[in-house]
Copies of this chain bind each other. A is one copy, B any other.
Amino acid sequence: MKKEETTEHQILDAAKDVFQSKGMDGARMQEIADKAGINKAMLHYYYRSKQLLFEAVFKNAFSLLAPQLNAILNDDSSIEDKIIKFTSDYTSFMMKHPYLPNFIINELNRNEDFILKLKDNTGFPNLEKFKIKVDSEIKEGILKPIDADQLFVNILALNIFPFLGKPLVKALTKKDEKAYKAFVESRKVEVAHFIINAIKTPKG
């Protein structure tokens, strides 16, 4: 039997659906069982409790996101190239996993201690290399002076917010689903230009 067909995996799959769209508090064990096509008791047989099943889903989700962040932080290209690549890759990734950012942001807010467990894990994004690169490009005169933390948060903000605040963005800019998708798609390049304009010293 393939791994995707085992009961344990089917549960995790169904749990992902339900937890990510309804959150820990809104999710119901019965709904997860129904979606997985199995008896509710099986959830406890494999994952013991709602909390543990939730944590399995959460860690899984975060382990999907972390490499996206590490990609920009740990390669050796210029800051400009990092931004161009990240903005495009991250937006594509989010379009495939629309529930992910809200789910993670939300549950981290609901339980601040939760992030401590992740921090210890290897693979938790580290900004050191990025900071060094930013500072060196500033010294070289390629970039205008800017704090690397601020720049990183700006990059994240511009890329993540349109997904976090999708309903708000749609309502404010009066876009239907189709127009919203086109809007986000065009951000793949727009956002990179925007950031680079903001931080690059004029040539000459």
Q: Hey, which bits of chain A sit against chain B, CB under 8 A? A: 22-26, 69, 102, 104-106, 108-110, 112, 115, 118-119, 124-125, 127, 144, 146-147, 149-150, 152-154, 156-158, 160-162, 164-175, 183, 186-187, 190-191, 194-195, 197-199, 202
Copies of this chain, complex-wide, total 2
**Which chain B residue lies CB-closest to A26?**
B25
Chain B residues within 8 Å of A168, by CB: 104-105, 108, 115
Main secondary structure of the interface of A (DSSP, over half): helix
**Which chain B residue lies CB-closest to A107?**
B167
Tell me which of B110, B153, B165 contacts A169 (CB under 8 A).
B153
Known: A149-B183, A157-B158, A158-B158. A171 touches B115 (CB 8 A): yes
Q: A24-B26, A154-B191 are in contact. List 9 more A-B contacts (CB 8 A).
A: A23-B25, A102-B109, A105-B164, A108-B165, A153-B173, A157-B157, A157-B160, A194-B199, A202-B202
**Which chain B residue lies CB-closest to A196?**
B198
**Which chain B residue lies CB-closest to A159?**
B157
